[in-house]
């Protein structure tokens, strides 16, 4: 009875093609099915019925990348982390990158766990220090008189202390 209801909601088009779920779906596109006691994901129900129980701690990955597919040949139990990395999310896409935006290979791991390119990091450091040096020189030129007055005032305020040290 439950199996008849389940298979009536599946469009099978061959053993190698996706078996599409035609009934209710989540916002994410996963099929949902009421198994008589609770609502379950259709792909998990199909896998457990046709293959066997899903091992503890594992989740089902759609190898075909079609979330409404219930063909057990397209489903594989994997760890949640591997499932995320196989996906199309930002984390997975960034992990698949092997080259930095400058076109060099990522060649080290940063303290925060990210990857980096030494050549670009060195170039960025040099540019930043050069920029800071130019900024510092420009500031000094614009404030030269103020700096001279400050140094003179400091010298007068500390003159007695400086002569005691030198004596």
Strand partners, 65: none
- Domain, as residue range, for 117: 97-167
Q: What is the DSSP string of 20-35?
A: EE-S-B-TTS-BEEE-
Question: Residue 40 — φ and ψ, nearest 5°?
Answer: -125, 165
Distance CA 23, CA 50 (A): 19
Residue 75 per-residue DSSP state? E
- For position 24, which CATH number holds? 3.90.75.20
Note whether 9 and 33 are within 8 A (CB).
yes
pLDDT of residue 87: 87
Q: How does pLDDT run along the chain (167 residues), one tens digit per residue? A: 899 999 999 999 888 999 999 999 999 999 999 988 999 999 999 999 999 999 999 999 999 999 999 999 999 999 999 998 898 888 888 888 889 999 999 998 888 888 889 999 888 888 888 888 888 888 888 888 998 898 888 888 888 777 665 55
Instruction: Please report, for residues 38, 82, 118, 142, the alpha-carbon distance to residue 77 in angstroms, rounded to integers and kept in the order given.
Output: 22, 10, 38, 67
Does residue 49 sit in the same domain as residue 116? no
Domain boundary among 75, 92, 109: 92
Does residue 53 sit in the same domain as residue 13? yes
Distance CA 127, CA 132 (A): 8
Does residue 61 sit in the same domain as residue 113? no
Does residue 112 sit in the same domain as residue 163? yes
Does residue 62 sit in the same domain as residue 105? no
Strand partners, 113: none
Domains in the chain: how many in total?
2
pLDDT of residue 11: 95
């Amino acid at each position: 009875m439950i199996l008849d209801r389940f298979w009536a909601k599946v469009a099978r088009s061959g053993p190698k093609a996706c078996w599409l779920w035609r009934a209710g779906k989540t916002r994410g596109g996963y099929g949902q099915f009421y198994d008589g006691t609770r609502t379950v994901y259709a792909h998990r129900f199909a896998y457990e019925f046709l293959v066997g129980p899903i091992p503890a701690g594992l989740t089902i990955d759609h190898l075909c990348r079609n979330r409404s597919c219930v063909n057990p040949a397209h489903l594989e139990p994997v760890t949640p982390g591997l499932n995320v990395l196989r996906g199309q999310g930002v984390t997975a896409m960034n992990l698949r990158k092997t080259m930095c935006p400058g076109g060099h290979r990522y060649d080290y791991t940063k303290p925060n766990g990210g990857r980096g390119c030494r050549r670009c990091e060195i170039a960025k450091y040099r540019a930043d220090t050069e920029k800071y040096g130019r900024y510092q020189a420009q500031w000094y030129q614009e404030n030269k008189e103020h700096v001279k007055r400050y140094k003179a005032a400091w010298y007068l305020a500390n003159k007695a202390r400086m002569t005691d040290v030198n004596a």
